[in-house]
A and B are shown apart, each in its own frame.
Chain A
């Protein structure tokens, strides 16, 4: 069984540009989560999808962040326009059950210069 995959592994963009991160969950996992780790800080929750619906988006920092999960399969997280403080590692996770253990991807390291 393939694990959670994320693309790209690393992205370097300039302030004001747009970046789109992609996450492919484990097949059959209806639940998909996005988290972010800013350097030196804890990993923080961004949002939770159940299939294509946003179950909880309480962690989204502001309206420059847009997450989608069309068709309930893969998800994208777009940052537009990117700011310096958006730099960090963005993790995606998936789970079969809402309360079940979450399986994490390798993360996308975003650097905004």
Chain B
């Protein structure tokens, strides 16, 4: 069955520290991959996406993610976290054909210490 796993429900980091949020997926083929962020009171905002090509993807707000086919992973990274990055982060997979629905992970809530 298709699934997305975000093993960390909560993560706390200090402002200025580096961040890595993990995402693993189970899918029949190479899916399209996404990271979304939801800040308090806001909707889901797309941080970055991977369709094909270069496996290191740059996104908005200084985030990047690396697709590793051998590990079925698409981890999100940021070298230096800002207090405004406190939010909930969702990894999602989508199909390039057939059904176009996204399958989401359960989310990782990030807390940033001043």
How far is it, in angstroms, between the C-alpha of A58 and the C-alpha of B101 when the chains are bound?
10
Residues of B37-71 at the interface with A, using a CB-CB cut-off of 8 Å, are 41-46, 49
Q: Mark A82-113, 1 if CB is under 8 A from B, else 0.
A: 00000000010101001101111111000000
B100 near A56 with CB under 8 A, answer yes
Complex contacts, B44 vs chain A, CB 8 Å: 91, 93, 104, 107
Taken together as a complex, chains A and B put the C-alpha atoms of A101 and B52 apart, in Å, by: 13
B94 surroundings in chain A (CB, below 8 A): 99, 102
> Do A106 and B101 contact each other (CB < 8 Å), given the known contacts A42-B106, A101-B49?
no
**Is B43 a contact of A107 with CB atoms below 8 Å?**
yes
Shortest C-beta distance, B79 to chain A (Å), equals: 25
Interchain CB contact (< 8 A) of A99 among B32, B106, B107: B32
* Chain A count of residues within 8 A CB distance of the other chain: 28
Q: Are B100 and A48 in contact (CB under 8 A)?
A: yes
Q: List 14 A-B contacts (CB under 8 A).
A: A4-B43, A41-B106, A43-B92, A43-B107, A45-B102, A55-B100, A58-B99, A58-B101, A59-B101, A91-B43, A99-B94, A99-B97, A99-B100, A104-B43
